[in-house]
Each structure stands twice: as C-alpha cells, then as structure tokens.
Structure 1
Amino acid sequence: MLDTIIYDVKNNIGYITINRPKALNALNQVVLGELSEVVDMAEKDPNVKVVIITGAGGKAFVAGADIAAMQMMTPSEAYDFARMAQEIYNRIQYMPKIVIAAIDGFALGGGCELAMACDIRVASAKSKIGIPEVTLGVIPGFAGTQRLPRLVGLSRAKEMLATARKVPADEALSIGLVNHVVEENPVAKAEEIAADICKNSISAIALGKRAMNEGIEMELKKGIEHEAALFAVTFSTEDQREGMTAFLEKRPANFK
C-alpha cells in the first residue's frame, strides 16, 4: 500500500506521481522509500516501455526535500539520507527504459535533482527550477552539484548554486535544463513523446541509453569503442531482425 506515491500503467507508460500536494510534494524518507519501490516495479514490468514522473496538485513537481524532516539531522543521518536519494536517482538515470519528468510548477532542490536524473524533461510555462539549498545553509545532496554542471555547464551551474535563483521555464529551455516547455499540462506532452518512443525498438533504446550514460564518463576513444561493442549486441536481438526486415519489405516494423 502506497501512501505518498500514485503508480499506474496505461498504454505501455508507467506513471509515477509524487502525491503530497499539501506539502508541495516534498521528499522525506517515506516518499523516497515508496519512490524506490515503484521505480523497481516500473523497471521490471514488461508492459512498461516508458516512465513518466510528475507531481500532484498543479503547484509543484517536487518543491524540495522536507525541511522539517531534515532540521535536526546529525551529519551521519544527513549522509545516509543523501545516499538513499542518490541511489534511487541513479537507478532512474541508469534504468534501461526512458524516464520523462513532467514538471508543472516548482522543481527545487531535491525536485530539480529528481528531474535531472530523468532522461527527458518537459515543463509547463509557469514552472521554476533551481537548487536553492544555500539559503538553508547546506548544499544539494541528491547529486545536484554533479548533474547540473553536466547539463548546463559549470559556470551556469555555479551561478544557480550561489544565487539560489529559481530559473523560469523559458530560460531553463534555453540553457538545456529542460527539453520542452508547454503552456500547460506537461503530462500530455510527455505522453506524446512516450508514444513516439513506444513505436521504436525498446531493446535498442535501452542499449543506446546505456552507451550514452556510460560513454559520457569515458575518454572519447574509449566511448567510441564501447558504442561499437553495444552496437554489436543489437545484432543478437529479434528487434534487429524485425527492424531491418521491415525496412527492406517497405513496411512498419512490429517490435514486441
């Protein structure tokens, strides 16, 4: 029984909704524990080809970690809390399936970090994104200091950290922090993207995602070699045979 997360599957899409709207979907250990549970469910479910993560209430994706829950933490407890979130976010980033963040409202602190762990980010025009932890006397602890520079560059990331500025959606788009901005209802845009993804080879997408995730941490020459090895793996799959046969027969591929 989930108390803080809603999980549903429709049309090969796994929907994960952070459901604490009165707290602007703030993250505490209960939420993170349930998020871990549903991420595992979505990853293992063969009926799920794409995952969409969003927040309930229309005001926030996730407004950050729960300050009341953190206020009296010891350094040891803070470390364990950060590592718990980091482990879950890492699983999202390295999950074979594509994960889309649908941001409607605030994505701050741990919420920004959750969105950055996803593969694709769609934001509504009213959304604001940032890492304001320094206003609380702490730094991001859920990998924000690591993922943000990789997305927007080191100088912009340092400015966002030091000023604690909440970046509006249009600016987030221009600096590469989000992929798309829509006037409203980012879930609908995420579903549109998910539908396009579902038409393609999910096994090939998984290997391509792996090549990018692992290769970006490598020196270029090694990354290129790694790509060749994973490219070769695709030639052992049914999807490769179906995809190339369909192309030669001039028909749409029927991937499983």
Structure 2
Amino acid sequence: MSVVLLERHSPDVAIVRFNRPEVRNALNTEVRQLLHEHFTALAADDDVRVVVLTGNERVFAAGADIQEQAERDVVGAIKAYTTSAIADFPKPVIAAVNGYALGGGCEFALQCDFVIASERAKFGQPEVNLGLIPGAGGTQRLPRAVGRLNASYMLMTGLPATAEQALRMGLVSEVVQGDALPRALELAELVASKAPLAVRQVKEVVRHGLDGSLETGLRMERRGYQLMFGTADFREGVKAFTDKRTPEFSGE
C-alpha cells in the first residue's frame, strides 16, 4: 500500500493521509515525493476546493525517518529531497492532527492554513536532541505562528507542546475530543461552500502580506478586495443575500 494515500471525501474535499503506521508515519524521501505529486495534482484539479492533511488516529507524523537521516553526510543533506508543495498550494489546507506531530510532522502542520487537533496531540521540534536544527521551516514558520519566545522554547529544549498548550500559543485553532479528522472535514466542507476565488485570495493575502510591512499587506488586501468585484461569485453572493437563499458559488 502507498505510504501516502489520496482520498476523495466529497466532490469538493480531498484527504491526503500519511500512511506508514509501522514507523509512526516517519517522513522519508518516498513520502515527500508522493506528497509533492498529490498536492501538485490537486492544485490542478478545479473540482477540489479544500484539502485535509492527516495521519491516522494514533499519529500525524513523528518526524523524519531517522534511519534514512543517519546515512547522510553534508553532501547527502544538500541533495536530500524536499518539497514546498503544501506551503505553495493555492487552496486551503487543514491539518487534522492526532497524536504526535514532531519535527517534519510539525513543520508540515505549520504549512497548513489552520490546525484541528485531538486532545491527545503533541507538537514539537526535537531536532536538537539529535544534534540538528529543523530543516523544513521550523525556525521560520513556528515563530511566525506562536511568537519568538514560545518558538525558541520549543526549538531549544526539544520539549513537545500538548494540544492545549499549542492552542494557547496559537499553533492550533481547535482542540477536539477523540479523532480530529471528523471536525476537520466538517470545517473543510464549510470552507468549500464559500466563494472559492475569495477564499484563495484570503489565503494569498494572509500568507504573503505577513512577509512584508503592514502598509504592503494593506495594499495587497485592497487589491484583492477590488479584484473580487469582477467575479461571478460576487454577483451570486449579493443576489443570494438579497433573495435570502444559500449562494451557489461556481469559482468564476
């Protein structure tokens, strides 16, 4: 069976699932390559509006495959396969996290637009325990999500954060009892019911606006706001509001 599964939950929502349960969904080169392939294909699929990234009910992804890492030297590390397919994905991605999201697993969750976590979830960047530092965005995305002090604490101690701690820090949007996937899918369907072009524009402005000054971000927001007036979805949204009915957005 494939180490990364692609499932269709509904016409609008896809699920990408880590599937190496025997090694707690450790992230090896094959996993990263398949993630890249699946997200590239989903980006080109106009029917898909939202993707949920998850593991199984026991673990999200417990980090990089240590056995694969142990064989590397500097040249091997430079040549190691990496992917930014999730971070660059133009549509919303929701992480449904059960159990451990450590190292690369935490970094993949950070690339998602928001995170729904089981109360059993734990998030961490334990690379310092191996004499390493994060190599897939942990030192950059984590501070942007939880602030410099919280991020430094996690990165320097290697200690994991519980789901409730992650919620307080802003790493997690909701904590649920039991399996996080049903709630993530519920929210995915909700997001998928909104105007697709508007949702994608929100994602783009939020992601790129935070990398610049407030003034630059506000200019991006204003331009995105103006662009929406040229869409059929805007006209449908206004008409549905006037008619007191649920809008039927086409993504045009």
TM-score relative to the length of structure 2: 0.95
Unmatched 5+ stretches in structure 2: none
User: In the aligned structure 2, how far is the partner of 1:36 from the partner of 1:93?
Assistant: 11
Match of residue 19 from structure 2: 19
Residues 156-235 of structure 1: pairs in structure 2 closer than 5 A: 156-235=150-229
Residues 1-256 of structure 1: pairs in structure 2 closer than 5 A: 3-11=2-10, 12-56=12-56, 58-81=57-80, 84-85=81-82, 87-88=83-84, 91-256=85-250
1:97: Cα distance to partner? 1.1
Moved more, 246-255 or 146-155: 246-255
Amino acid at match of 2:143: P
TM-score relative to the length of structure 1: 0.94
* SS of aligned partner of 2:53: strand
For each residue in 1:147-196, what CA deviation from the matched residue of structure 2 results, as whole angstroms up to 9, or x when unmatched? 00001100111110111001111111111111111111100010111121
Amino acid at match of 2:179: N
User: In the aligned structure 2, how far is the partner of 1:60 from the partner of 1:250?
Assistant: 43
Number of residues of Structure 1 aligned to a counterpart in Structure 2: 249
Moved more, 201-210 or 239-248: 239-248
1:52: Cα distance to partner? 0.4
1:59: Cα distance to partner? 2.2
1:199: Cα distance to partner? 1.7
* SS of aligned partner of 1:17: strand
For each residue in 1:53-102, what CA deviation from the matched residue of structure 2 results, as whole angstroms up to 9, or x when unmatched? 1113x321000000100112121221332xx43x32xx322322110111
* SS of aligned partner of 2:86: helix
Unmatched 5+ stretches in structure 1: none
For each residue in 1:212-240, what CA deviation from the matched residue of structure 2 results, as whole angstroms up to 9, or x when unmatched? 11111111112111111111111121111
* SS of aligned partner of 1:107: strand
1:248: Cα distance to partner? 2.2
1:200: Cα distance to partner? 0.8
* SS of aligned partner of 2:194: coil
Contact conserved, 1:50 with 1:97, CA < 8 A, in 2? yes
User: In the aligned structure 2, how far is the partner of 1:79 from the partner of 1:117?
Assistant: 21
* SS of aligned partner of 2:245: coil
User: In the aligned structure 1, how far is the partner of 2:229 from the partner of 2:75?
Assistant: 48
1:3: Cα distance to partner? 2.1
User: In the aligned structure 2, how far is the partner of 1:32 from the partner of 1:229?
Assistant: 35
1:47: Cα distance to partner? 1.9
Amino acid at match of 1:126: R
Contact conserved, 1:94 with 1:210, CA < 8 A, in 2? no
Amino acid at match of 2:37: E
* SS of aligned partner of 1:94: coil
Contact conserved, 1:94 with 1:213, CA < 8 A, in 2? no
Percent identity between matched residues is 38
For each residue in 1:84-138, what CA deviation from the matched residue of structure 2 results, as whole angstroms up to 9, or x when unmatched? 43x32xx322322110111110000000000000001011111111000000000
Amino acid at match of 1:189: R
User: In the aligned structure 2, how far is the partner of 1:114 from the partner of 1:168?
Assistant: 17
User: In the aligned structure 1, how far is the partner of 2:27 from the partner of 2:50?
Assistant: 23
User: In the aligned structure 1, how far is the partner of 2:123 from the partner of 2:187?
Assistant: 21
